[in-house]
């Protein structure tokens, strides 16, 4: 009998249907064409630290999504076995399939199985001749073929439509006539570009960023962001791979303008939502506490004199204007407590979260903002309210989500029992 062990960490919200999601991940440059390192305190590194956690293999949590993107060598050695037959499955047959991680287990023979669910079927990746602890401490421990889709989804929310500045002079255009599928072309350093689409790249560089220059020329750059399961360590991002790490390829700041202008260029008119209940000040000076998931749009950002903080003017969904002070980068150690309350990444998520879930009523949003659930809620609604479960058990259309103090039973993605 197998002894099942699951990981218990929190993961960012998100789920999606399989076929539309798969199609939306495959993006291309608009048309084919003829023809330096970053500081650890840079806005780009802070962006990664805030929104893109690096999950080591044994820190993976149920619900994490991956796409199977086999490389040439993966066609020779299959990565997965069918859980019902225990037979190897060709990686080519699984190409572009979306795998949902369920957890890992250690068999009576001491084999490690990393379990996945895809389109009603179960698969596992098997590790032999080592213990779980020994395998997990390897710097490059991971599962071949799997591109981390949570990075792609987060990048879609945070970067699509954004203005960036080039920090590399070598990028790519899609080229179906090339054996690699692309051609490398040159671009100017500090060139201003606009992100037009984000999709899946490869296991090593899972985020494919498609962008245009001021002339409408379309390019792309595949990058690692969190480096989750990318199969590479920091020392591997050198030479031809250096510009495949996001901060080495792009910048949020124009090297020729001041910081406050850069902040407005990056955040001005962006939709944001509260990650937690926060007190803001209205235009008439009244302090108002807004609940989690309240939606705003940034109207203006003013830098405070001789201070790391900035005053944000935000338009509420009712049309009212509110202000709040926040910092956009970590302060020194003496201000750690203050930073924890006012750091922009702790206060806000980027995008209009409610627009992603148009079927959720205002009544349910109020319940969700309080961290409550009730029968009839969908899996999406429960995940928004309670976060990711410790583990998930699925059998056909039935599934049970386990939390520290409760469990939720679903039938056809609807909550039927709270225990």
CATH class, 357-418 region: alpha beta
pLDDT of residue 9: 35
CA distance 103 to 11: 13
Find out whether 207 and 155 touch, Cβ atoms under 8 Å: yes
pLDDT of residue 16: 37
Handedness of CA 87, 92, 98, 104 (dihedral sign): positive
pLDDT of residue 13: 36
CA distance 100 to 150: 11
The mean pLDDT of 349-362, rounded to a whole number, is: 89
CA distance 47 to 158: 10
- Give the tens place of pLDDT for each residue, 139-161: 899 999 999 999 999 999 999 99
pLDDT of residue 266: 82
pLDDT of residue 143: 96
pLDDT of residue 320: 95
Instruction: Check pLDDT > 60 for residue 338.
Output: no
Q: Which of 290, 293, 270 is nearest to 282 (CA)?
A: 290
Angle among Cα 266, 269, 273 to the nearest 5 degrees reads 95
- Give the tens place of pLDDT for each residue, 163-221: 999 999 999 999 999 988 999 999 999 999 999 999 999 999 999 999 999 999 999 99
Q: How confident is the model at residue 41 (pLDDT cuts 50, 70, 90)?
A: low
pLDDT of residue 23: 67
Question: If you average pLDDT over every residue of the chain, what do you get?
Answer: 86
- Give the tens place of pLDDT for each residue, 15-37: 333 444 566 788 877 655 443 34
**Residue ranges of domains in the chain:** 3-146, 150-251, 259-355, 357-418
**CA 23 from chain center: how many Å?**
18
Find out whether 223 and 246 touch, Cβ atoms under 8 Å: yes
In which residue are the tokens 């991680």 written? 101
In this predicted model, which residue has the larger pLDDT, 387 or 206?
206
Instruction: Check pLDDT > 70 for residue 335.
Output: no
């Amino acid at each position: 009998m197998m002894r099942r062990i699951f990981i218990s960490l929190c993961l960012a919200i998100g789920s999606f249907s399989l076929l539309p999601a798969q199609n939306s991940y495959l993006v291309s440059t608009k048309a084919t064409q003829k023809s330096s390192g970053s500081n650890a305190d840079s806005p780009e590194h802070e962006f990664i630290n805030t929104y893109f956690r690096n999950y080591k293999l044994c820190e993976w949590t149920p619900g994490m999504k991956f796409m199977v993107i086999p490389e040439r060598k993966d066609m020779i050695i299959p990565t997965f076995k069918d859980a019902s037959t225990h037979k190897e499955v060709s990686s080519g047959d699984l190409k572009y399939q979306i795998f949902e991680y369920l957890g890992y287990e250690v068999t009576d023979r001491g084999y490690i199985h990393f379990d996945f669910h895809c389109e009603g079927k179960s698969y596992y990746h098997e590790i032999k001749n080592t213990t779980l602890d020994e395998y997990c401490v390897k710097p490059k421990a991971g599962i071949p073929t799997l591109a981390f889709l949570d990075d792609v989804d987060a990048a879609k929310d945070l970067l699509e439509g954004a203005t960036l500045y080039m920090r590399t002079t070598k990028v790519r255009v899609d080229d179906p006539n090339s054996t690699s599928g692309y051609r490398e072309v040159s671009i100017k350093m500090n060139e201003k570009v606009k992100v037009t689409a984000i999709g899946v790249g490869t296991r090593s560089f899972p985020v494919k960023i498609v962008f245009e220059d001021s002339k409408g020329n379309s390019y792309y750059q595949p990058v690692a962001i969190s480096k989750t399961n990318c199969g590479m360590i920091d020392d591997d991002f050198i030479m031809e791979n250096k510009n495949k790490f996001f901060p080495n390829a792009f910048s949020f700041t124009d090297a020729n303008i001041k910081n406050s202008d850069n902040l407005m260029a990056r955040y001005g008119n962006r939709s944001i939502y509260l990650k937690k209940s926060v007190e803001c000040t209205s235009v008439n000076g009244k302090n108002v506490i807004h609940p989690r998931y309240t939606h705003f749009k940034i109207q203006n950002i003013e830098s405070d004199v001789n201070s790391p903080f900035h005053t944000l003017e935000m338009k509420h969904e009712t049309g009212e204007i509110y202000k709040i002070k926040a910092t956009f980068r970590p302060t020194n150690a003496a201000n750690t407590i203050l930073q924890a309350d006012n750091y922009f990444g702790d206060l806000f998520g980027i995008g209009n979260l409610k627009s992603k879930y148009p079927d959720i009523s205002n009544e349910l949003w109020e319940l969700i903002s309080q961290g409550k659930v009730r029968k009839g809620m969908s899996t999406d609604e429960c995940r928004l309210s309670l976060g990711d479960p410790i583990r998930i058990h699925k059998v056909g259309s039935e599934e049970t989500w386990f939390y520290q103090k409760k469990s939720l039973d679903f039938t056809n993605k609807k909550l039927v029992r709270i225990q």
